Amino acid sequence: MGSRDYVVEFELDYVLNYDGSAVESNAIVVCDRQWFVVCHPVVGLSDCCQLAVQTRLVSVHTALDVLADYELTIISERYPNDNYRLVAEYELMNDQYTPEKSSCRKLVISGHGQPPVRFHGTVQFRLRELLRVFRPDLTVETETHNFAFTNGSEQVYANIFFLNTLDSVYFSELFERYKRGVRRDVLLNINYDHLLIFMTALCRYGKPVLDSYNFDLLLQLASELKVNKMIQLAEMYLMKSQTVPLVRKIEFALQYNLMALLKRLHHQLSLQPPMTALYALHTYLHDSGESLDHMHPTVLSVLGVEEDYIVY
C-alpha cells in the first residue's frame, strides 16, 4: 500500500504492581493491531521501572505490517511536574516485533519510591506506511523465487528479476549468470543471519524497506554489494532522522561516501550558531562514552574543529 501518514493519540493509565510481572496499559486498535504500553520492574532496583510500546495482531488474516514513528510521554502522579519522553522512528511492526525487540526502545523511570506507582501518559503515533507482505519466508524456494544465496550451509531464495531492478552491479551480474543457467551464489564473508535480514529488507514487501534497528547493517551490506537503491534509502533515512546524532550522521556520510547527506549537513551547520557543532560533539562523546582522541580528524573538520584547536 502507498505511503499514508496520520497521527493517533490516546491516554494511558496503569499501575506498577511490584510482584515481578509486567503490567499492560489499556490499548487501542489501529491497522488490525493492538497498541499499548507495558510497564515492568527493573530487577534489583525497587524504585525503578521501565516502559515500552508494544503491539500485537488482532487478526493474522488481514493484518499489514506497519512502519511507524511514535512518541511516548509519561507523567507520574507522584511528581506531576516531571515528565519523561521517548521518541522512536522507523519502527517496523510485524510478526518479528517481539517484546524483546520493543524493549530496546524503553523509558527507565527511577526515584519514585516504593510501588504501587500510578503513571499517566500518551503515545502519539505517526504511521509512515502500511506494508503488504509479498514474501513472508525467504528460506522457502518457489517457482519465481528460485535463486539461492548461501553462506555455504544455509540459503535464502529471491526473485532475480526483481533484484535486477535495484540498481546493483552485483545483482545485474547475477542476472546475466542466471540467464546462462546459474541458480545460486555463495557469500562466505556474510553471516547467515545478516544475509537473511538484508534479503528480507529487500524482498519481503516487493520493494526495499528500512527500519531503525537494522539500517546500519543494511547500509553496510548494500555498500559491499553495491545495491544503490538500498544505499539511497539509507541516506534518505539519515537525512530525515531526528534520533541519529549529528556526529554519527557525519561518520556514516564519510564512511559510505554519502555526498548528498554530507552536503546537507554542511548546509545545516552553516545556518546554526557557531557553538552548535561543539555542543553536538560534547553531547555525543558524553552519551557514547567515547573520547576526543577516538574521533576521526575528518569528522572533527566537518564540525569545524581543526586538529590544532585540540589540547590533549
229-239 per-position pLDDT tens digit: 999 999 999 99
Domain boundary (206, 238, 270) is at 238
At 88, which CATH number?
Answer: 2.60.210
pTM of the entire structure?
0.85
CATH number of the domain bearing residue 188: 3.30.710.10
CA 70 – CA 91 distance, rounded (Å): 8
Reduced to 3 states (helix: H, G, I; strand: E, B; else coil), residue 8 is strand
Asked whether residue 160 is assigned to any structural domain, the reply reads: yes
pLDDT of residue 311: 47
pLDDT digits (tens, 9 = 90+) for 10-66: 555 556 555 667 778 878 887 788 888 888 777 777 677 788 888 888 876 666 888
Band (103; pLDDT cuts 50, 70, 90): low
Task: Report the pLDDT averaged over residues 166-194.
Answer: 96
The confidence score (pLDDT) of residue 34 equals 83
Size (the chain), residues: 312
Q: Which residue range(s) make up the domain with 278? A: 248-309
Is residue 140 domain-resident?
Answer: no
Residue 223 domain-assigned?
Answer: yes
**Percentage of residues in the chain with pLDDT exceeding 90?**
44
Pair 263, 198 in one domain: no
Q: Which residue has the cell 519510591?
A: 113
- In this structure, the answer to whether residues 188 and 283 fall within a common structural domain is no
Domain boundary at 179, 203, 238, which? Answer: 238
Q: Quote the CA–CA distance of 146 and 281 in Å, as a whole number.
A: 48
Using pLDDT thresholds of 50, 70 and 90, give the confidence band for residue 99: low
Beta-carbon contacts of 49 under 8 Å, excluding residues fewer than 6 positions away, are 16, 39, 40, 41, 42, 108, 109, 110, 115, 117
For residue range 202-230, what is the model confidence (pLDDT) as tens digits?
A: 999 999 999 999 999 999 999 999 999 99
Q: Residue 212: inside a domain, yes or no? A: yes
- The set of cell numbers assigned to 202 is 529487500
Note the pLDDT of residue 57.
Answer: 82
- Averaged pLDDT for residues 127-132: 89
The verdict on 234 and 252 lying in the same domain is no
- The number of domains in the chain is 3
Same domain, 12 and 69: yes
Task: Identify the band that residue 290 occupies on the pLDDT scale cut at 50, 70 and 90.
Answer: confident
Q: What is the pLDDT of residues 249-279, one digit of tens each?
A: 999 999 999 999 999 999 988 888 878 888 8
Can you give the pLDDT at residue 96? 74
Task: Map grid coordinates 519466508 to a residue.
Answer: 137
Q: Are 59 and 155 in the same domain?
A: no
Mean pLDDT of the chain: 85
